[in-house]
Amino acid sequence: MMLPTHAVVGLALATPLVALAPDLASPALWGALIGSIVPDLDLYAGHRKTLHYPTIYPILALPAVGVVLFVPHPVAVAVAAALVGAAVHCRMDRYGGGLELRPWEGTSERAVYDHVRGRWRKPKRWVAYDGSPGDLLILCALALPLLVVLEGVFRLFVASVLVVGIVYVALRRWLADLAPVVFGYVPERLSRYVPERYRG
């Protein structure tokens, strides 16, 4: 799924603390937001493999959440929220399409790499692909209530990623056609940094 959806899901996971534990809401929101974004920092370096750990993140998240139940310190809350956000991100990528430039074609059987099992997990395609109308529906369904509940920088962030998500969905298929053209102009010495899927 697209990064705006991941980010909003992360915030949605932490938002109940706004009512349940207001003093811990901010570290939880920041942690969940960062955790839900970090896996996609591998976009140009082994995407869905380098920073995606669908087994390891949940294994780390469980004890981290347990610590928070006994020691609700802001740092512990932020770390636990970040691990939960990263774990959910990896799970969401499995529910979407494969790792390919045009995932609506359904030609890739690679969703997320499982480092523990040493193999790629297959996409379930419950959400057809990142930037699909279904992806946008999830984004809107979560973002609109968050715009009401959250305040300050978090509300501004949600509004911003909602706009980015809408534009991305509108341009998604066009961008897939444009990528091989744009990346075709990358100098030879930098071409090794261009993911194979962007070369046509």
Q: Dig out the tokens for 91 from the structure.
A: 């799970």
Answer yes or no: are the C-beta atoms of 53 and 27 closer than 8 Å. no
Query: For residue range 90-106, what is the model confidence (pLDDT) as tens digits?
Result: 999 999 999 888 999 99
pLDDT at residue 62, rounded to an integer: 97
Query: For residue range 120-139, what is the model confidence (pLDDT) as tens digits?
Result: 999 999 999 999 999 999 99
> How is 87-118 classified by DSSP, letter by letter?
HHHHHHHHHS--SSSSGGG-----SEEETTTT
Decide if pLDDT at 192 tops 80. Answer: no
pLDDT category of residue 53 using cuts at 50, 70 and 90: very high
Cα 141 from Cα 131, distance rounded (Å): 15
Strand spans (E) along the chain: 112-114, 119-121
Could you tell me how many residues make up the chain? 200
pLDDT category of residue 175 using cuts at 50, 70 and 90: confident
Is the Cα torsion angle 159, 162, 167, 168 positive or negative in sign?
positive
Collapse the DSSP code of 183 into the 3-class scheme (helix H, G, I; strand E, B; otherwise coil) and give the result: helix
C-alpha triplet 52, 181, 4: angle, nearest 5°:
35
Domain positions in the chain are 3-169
Cα 192 from Cα 186, distance rounded (Å): 10
Decide if pLDDT at 193 tops 70. Answer: no
pLDDT at residue 99, rounded to an integer: 87
Decide if pLDDT at 200 tops 60. Answer: no
Find the mean pLDDT for residues 175-187.
78
Decide if pLDDT at 28 tops 80. Answer: yes
Residue of 71 and 176 predicted with greater confidence:
71
Amino acid identity for residue 140 in this structure: C
Query: For residue range 148-170, what is the model confidence (pLDDT) as tens digits?
Result: 999 999 999 999 999 999 999 99
